[in-house]
Amino acid sequence: MTMRQLRNQMVHEYMEDMALLSSALQSGHDFVPTLLNTAHAMREQLKSRDWL
């Protein structure tokens, strides 16, 4: 839910405050390992079902 809220904030709000933008970008960067792990797990499931 936190990742979704951050995504919505970054996409739907024009961030004029550079400190706020920097913080949001850093928070997004912190989620990269989670997103990569999720993508890998999804790919493995697709492979196991011969969908890839």
Provide the pLDDT for residue 39: 97
Give the count of domains, the chain.
1
Provide the pLDDT for residue 4: 92
> Consecutive 10-residue runs of the chain (52 residues): their mean pLDDT?
89 80 92 97 95 80
Provide the pLDDT for residue 36: 98
Domain assignment of residue 9, given as a range: 2-48
Provide the pLDDT for residue 49: 94
Show the 3-state SS of 16-34: CCHHHHHHHHHHHHHCHHH
pTM confidence score: 0.68
Residues 28, 10 contacting (CB under 8 angstroms): yes
Provide the pLDDT for residue 7: 87
